[in-house]
Amino acid sequence: MRLGSRSYSEGHLYRARFAVPLDDHPLIVKLSTFMKLTARDLESLEHIFEAEKPVKKGKDLVVDGKEYRNLGFVKDGYALRYKLLRNGKRQILNVLLPGDAIGFPVSFFERSTYSVVALTELKLNICSIDAYVGLCFERPQFGLALSWLAVKEAAIYAERIVDIGRRTPVERLVHFLLELHSRLLTVGLAEKNSFRLPISQEVIADSLGLSVPHLNRVMQHLRKESLISNNARVVEFFDIPALQTLAHYEPLVFAQIPLPMSGRA
């Protein structure tokens, strides 16, 4: 058995020979926002993951139409979940940040209807769905944690629907930027009023259902209004409350998983 692989049989213990250290993993930071993770929790989690996997920029991680049956979590770097249409248009569902899962929603269906591509160099931690399910039978809180993550993903999509369906392009863009900022803050990758935005305007346009020229104009408009600046792929907010109002933005605050107090945890 090579380093990082695992055995899993009949719902009992499955242990990698070597644990993969996860303690400073953005996934752990994220999970900690809605549940208490004990040392034992962490240890269990570390044993179902394979060794950290480096991925080259531009690599296809999930291909539309293919099967994918893993939960991969981004340790470092950025990726895109998107769909390419027959007419050549592209709709981006989500920009995947450190701590985000590769396998939504593909791993839960027979085959994918979306693709995922690495936008930058990536470090990934991967475990199979089988291993994760096994873990859930040992430590049920992880089944719930997965639900929480899936719901958060749904909530992000929901905002995008509202953005694209009924908000003006300015509102859309601001909302999008505020959301990215908030998500990066969660995993400690943003400043209070700014963050690195390693994505082109084309990506933003394809996220928001706009054309690139129009997105560019909206961007300029925001700069002219002195609401944001963006140089060298760094976005700075000059007046967050004003932006939040403009975009009807409401921060999403996770409720805690109401874990039982008993020795079960």
Binding site for DNA (CB under 7 A): 168-169, 200-202, 209-214, 216-217, 219-220, 232-233
Q: How far is the CB of 209 from DNA (least distance, A)?
A: 6
Query: Nearer to a second copy by C-beta: 63 or 76?
Result: 63
> 92-97: long-range contacts at Cβ-Cβ below 8 A with a sequence spacing of 24 or more?
92/203, 92/206, 92/207, 93/157, 93/160, 94/153, 94/156, 94/157, 94/160, 95/119, 95/180, 95/199, 95/203, 95/207, 97/26, 97/180, 97/183, 97/184, 97/187, 97/189
106: CB partners within 8 A, 6+ apart: 62, 68, 112, 113, 114, 116
Q: Are 27 and 34 in contact (CB under 8 A)?
A: no
Q: How far is the CB of 116 from a second copy (least distance, A)?
A: 12
Residue found under tokens 């600046």: 229
Query: Nearer to DNA by C-beta: 85 or 255?
Result: 85
Binding mask 175-214 for a second copy (x = CB under 8 A): -------------------------------x-xx-----
- Which one of the spans 38-46, 154-162, 181-189, 217-225 is the region binding a second copy (CB under 8 A)? 154-162
Q: How far is the CB of 24 from a second copy (least distance, A)?
A: 25
Rounded to whole angstroms, how far apart are CA atoms 68 and 57? 20
The residues in 160-179 that bind a second copy, with binding defined as CB under 8 A, are 160-162, 164-167
Rounded to whole angstroms, how far apart are CA atoms 160 and 93? 8
Query: Nearer to a second copy by C-beta: 56 or 176?
Result: 176
Residue 46 in 3-state DSSP?
helix
Q: Which residues of 143-167 are buried (b: 16+ CB within 10 A; e: fewer)?
A: ebbbebbeebbeebeebbeebeeeb
Rounded to whole angstroms, how far apart are CA atoms 156 and 230? 23
Q: How far is the CB of 231 from a second copy (least distance, A)?
A: 28
Query: Nearer to a second copy by C-beta: 5 or 193?
Result: 5
Q: How far is the CB of 6 from DNA (least distance, A)?
A: 35
Residue 108 in 3-state DSSP?
helix
Query: Nearer to a second copy by C-beta: 92 or 227?
Result: 92
The residues in 206-265 that bind a second copy, with binding defined as CB under 8 A, are 206, 208-209, 248, 250, 252-255, 257-262, 264-265
What is the distance, to the nearest Å, from the Cα of residue 128 to the centroid of all Cα atoms in its chain?
18
Query: Nearer to DNA by C-beta: 182 or 201?
Result: 201
Query: Nearer to a second copy by C-beta: 39 or 161?
Result: 161
Q: Which residues bind a second copy (CB under 8 A)?
A: 10-12, 34, 69, 83, 85-86, 89-91, 93, 104-105, 107-111, 113-114, 129-130, 133-134, 136-137, 140-144, 146-148, 150-155, 157-162, 164-167, 206, 208-209, 248, 250, 252-255, 257-262, 264-265
